Amino acid sequence: MRICAVNTLDSLKLPQFKYTAKMKYTSRHNVIPLKGGCECKGMCSDSKKCLCAVKNGGEIPFNHSGAIVEAKLLVYECGPLCKCPPSCYNRVSQHGIKFQLEIFKTTSRGWGVRSLNSIPSGSFICQYTGELLSEKEADQRTGNDEYLFDLGRSKSSSQSMGAGLSSVISPDLQSTSISCENVEDEEGFTIDAFKYGSVGRFINHSCSPNLVAQRVLYDHDDVRMPHIMLFAAENIPPLRELTYDYNYVVDTVYDSAGNIKIKECYCGSSECTGRMY
């Protein structure tokens, strides 16, 4: 789908980056491959027999219109080794963008994203794609940290969803409680959308967001590096800016010299806390 960028405010052009609809992995990261899939011949309608439904806690997380029913720590969509057809109800975000999105210049937050169509609650919007980096690699990009999305760590006691853009957020506060078989260490991963990314890289933060970031697995089995899929958290009218909560914890973001970084929030919501971090 073609995505236009409009600027009615000044003469600034969209910054250069390479558009990638899929994640960019390198051989440095050993992604755990899929071990298998469900055996359903139809549409995964028997949630007791469908292995993917079982992994989702005994239910398909989407309704028949393709809307996510509720945000979860991790959603398993059916994948390439499943026997079900591409039209299976448990394949949603893997099919890509369905709404006509537009990148536009905002007055105070750089570029942002809106939809030209109205969006029903629960609909898939887009994936936050980019280069997959280890925590160490991400830490070395402190000067260019505006497009980092920290995936947190796979084994942790913290319950935080941790779906936020950050470079150096305290790992304990930013991590997830997903337990992870076959993973020896606790290495965390980050997506960097600065050089390679999708329209998702332009979605701004809001303290009253209308999207949620959902971790999804379908084409590999590595819970350390789930796909980040953005879904509508409410019905969204056309031209309303799309936003999600970056989930920063104030005073936990540091620069390379170890000083606390402060960034004001201009989301404009009545619930705005005033600071992004």
Ligand X SMILES: C[S@@+](CC[C@H](N)C(=O)[O-])C[C@H]1O[C@@H](n2cnc3c(N)ncnc32)[C@H](O)[C@@H]1O
CB of 232 to ligand X, least distance (A): 18
Whole-angstrom distance between the N-terminal and C-terminal Cα of the chain? 34
What tokens appear for 236 in the block?
């969204």
Q: In angstroms, what CA-CA distances link 154 with 15, 134, 159, 177?
A: 33, 13, 11, 7
Measured CA to CA in angstroms, residue 196 lies from 17, 61, 211, 270 at distances of 6, 30, 22, 34
At closest approach, how far in Å is the CB of 148 from ligand X?
8
Nearest distance from C-beta of residue 63 to ligand X, angstroms: 30
Closest separation in Å from C-beta 216 to ligand X: 19
SS3 state at 149:
strand
- Give the nearer residue to ligand X in terms of CB position, either 91 or 114: 114
Name the minimum Å distance from CB 200 to ligand X. Answer: 8
Pick the closer one to ligand X by CB: 163 or 276: 276
Distance (Å, whole) CA 19 – CA 16: 9
Least distance between ligand X and beta carbon 243 (Å): 7
Residue 88 to residues 60, 76, 81, 83, 225: CA-CA distances in angstroms?
10, 13, 13, 10, 24
Among candidate residues 35, 46, 127, 47, the one with its CA nearest the CA of residue 82: 35
| Pick 18 or 55: Cβ nearer ligand X | 18
The footprint of ligand X (CB under 6 A) covers 109-111, 146-147, 165, 201-202, 204-206, 265-267, 276
Q: Residue 130 or residue 152: which is nearer to ligand X going by CB?
A: 130
Q: Which residue is nearest to ligand X (CB)?
A: 110
Considering beta carbons, is residue 82 or 276 the nearer one to ligand X? 276
Distance, CA of 91 to CA of 66 (rounded, Å) = 8
For residues 89 and 111, which CB has a smaller minimum distance to ligand X in the complex?
111
